[in-house]
Structure 1
Amino acid sequence: MTIKVAIAGARGKMGIEAVHTVIKREGMELVAILDYKQVGQTLADLDIFPENYKVPIYTDFCALVEETKPDVLVDLTNPHAVYEHTKQALVHNVRPVIGTTGFTDEQLVELKELAASKKMGCIIAPNFAIGAILMMKFAREAAKYLPNVEIIEMHHDNKLDAPSGTGLKTAQMIAEVRDPKGQGHPNEKEMMQGARGAEFEGMHIHSVRLPGLVAHQQVLFGGEGQLLTIRHDSFNRESFMSGVTFCIERVLDMEDLVYGLENII
């Protein structure tokens, strides 16, 4: 069986890598691109792709589904568009694989109920890198024994959301095994607002945004006379592609929404 794939966000750095990956992947066919701008008739019209990439570009999702009938939509767009793309995909019986973060808790509940009602798979992955998934799993295990935790996540300076989906997901996973507790001196005072970062159940999350970075995170656990650091680095976007292809194949066998690859790996 050949899996028919559509991609939203093909002009972004992750999207470009995903286009090349799906086109070259045996058992997959890239049938359409969803783009909010009319940038050309096919990918071949764009300078960033080879001339033989004749995949059609659509600005209207309904037309895309009717004419190309994809099995899976891979969304690599931005937090402003991803919720609507995910919902529309499920409504039109296309299984979403989402690599964009920025969902609210209410949106996730709604999408989970929609996927369950239609018995359709949907994967929302704050991070597609297998090493990052293992980092989060190891961090959850370490928090059972070292509950004083701080997270430092570092990304490129064009990232829109802070903290990152990976940073927030890590904190949520740690919270599953850690009782909420304040950290630092009970009377500490920020001399500059935000100096201690965002707070999640007493944990602090710090977001770094600099050119030259891709996606990096370290989770620091402090104990008496010791420090444990669990770190993952993605040096290029190729590191995410094995997770993308895994999700495209896996989502076809699912009947509900899964948030985080740690739940299926």
Structure 2
Amino acid sequence: MIKILVAGFKGKMGATATKMVIDHEGFELVGVLDPFEEKDNLQELPEYATLDVPIFKTKEEVISVQPDVWIDFTIPKVAYENTRFAIEHHISPVVGTTGLTEEQLEELTARSEELQVGGLIAPNFAVGAVLMMQFAQKAAEYFPDVEIIELHHDNKLDAPSGTAIKTAEMMSEVRKKKTQGHPEEKELLAGARGADFDGMKIHSVRLPGLIAHQQVQFGGIGEGLTIRHDSYDRSSFMTGVALGCEKVVQLNTLVYGLENLL
């Protein structure tokens, strides 16, 4: 039985992850973390009335239940501190919070290697999204002209999404270097052409009603190719989260991207 703590359990992704842990036969929910929750136990909340699980207000309190895995769906400025704390206390982090900097990722990975603690940070836990990124990387070998359009709900805090950045990084590894668009192109409104990543453009859409969607659009002479993934419900991410929880306890370092575990 893998003992799991969920940080950010009141958010939409955190709540979905909490339910997944509760329903999973191989997992035991030993605690949840939220510094702003007034209740002390999940059973005080109507939706969890049958559960006797402590609600922690600080990271330090978590140590008392000795979790094996720390699931984190918080916000970027909190996720870094949480992940570092977990690693320092030999708790394997499974992090779905995006927005961590490259320097933070490098620091956390180095520390995990030093302490021999396994962990996973994934910009997207949907298996279909991982396949979408891998297909896009393959296509980029043949279609250097490509733009990414990522679409998310209007409460998402970071732009572009972690998935879009990860996709661009993967394509950049195999794509011929090229700056797209006409050399004399001028933006009549700043940002009209989107963010630039190694010559590729990334566009972020934020609207109510959306969950998580990404389209990678390639253009060639006389043809085009579009690779798209849609998450219509947050449950689409839980297969990947569960897999991460099962695998990280067997690792001795932090990895970035669910594809490393498939």
| TM-score, length of structure 1 as denominator length | 0.97
**Count of residues in Structure 1 that have an aligned counterpart in Structure 2:** 262
Amino acid at match of 1:228: L
Q: CA RMSD in A?
A: 0.9
The alignment status of 1:170 with 2:172, answered yes or no, reads: no
Contact 1:39–1:46 (CA under 8 A) maintained in structure 2: no
Please report how far the alpha carbon of residue 44 of structure 1 lies from its aligned counterpart in structure 2 after TM superposition.
2.3
2:51 matches 1:53: yes
Q: CA deviation at 1:120?
A: 1.0
Contact 1:86 1:96 in 2 (8 A): yes
Residue 14 (1) aligns with residue 13 (2): yes
Task: Could you tell me which runs of 5 or more consecutive residues in structure 1 were left unpaired when the two chains were aligned.
Answer: none
User: Percent identity at matched positions?
Assistant: 55
Aligned to 1:32: 31
Deviations 1:38-76 (A, max 9, x none): 3211122234x23112211111212211x1000000000
Unaligned runs of 5+ in 2: none
Residues 244 and 261, structure 2, Cα contact 8 Å, conserved in 1: no
Which residue of 2 is the match for residue 78 of structure 1?
A: 75
Residues 247-258 of structure 1: matches in 2 within 5 Å?
Answer: 247-258=244-255
Spell out the pairing of 1:129-208 with structure 2 (5 A cutoff). 129-208=126-205
Cα distance in 2, alignment partners of residues 237 and 39 from structure 1: 26
Give the alignment of 1:254-265 within 5 angstroms. 254-265=251-262
Q: 1 CA distance for matches of 2:198 and 2:177?
A: 5
In structure 1, what is the equivalent of residue 226 of structure 2? 229
Q: Distance in 2 between matches of 1:132 and 1:38?
A: 32
**Mapped pair 1:101 → 2:84:** no
1:210 aligns with 2:207: yes
Cα drift, residue 262 of structure 1: 1.6
Alignment of 1:118-133 (within 5 A): 118-133=115-130
Judge conservation of contact 1:70–1:94 (CA < 8 Å) in 2.
Answer: yes
- Aligned position for 1:63: 61
Checking the alignment, whether the CA contact within 8 Å between 1:219 and 1:230 is kept in structure 2 is: yes
- Name the amino acid aligned to 2:33: L
Counterpart of 1:255, as a letter, is N
The SS at the match of 2:104 is: helix
Distance 2:238 2:112 in 1: 24
Q: Deviations over 1:125-151 (max 9, x none)?
A: 100000000000000000001111100
SS class of match (1:241): helix
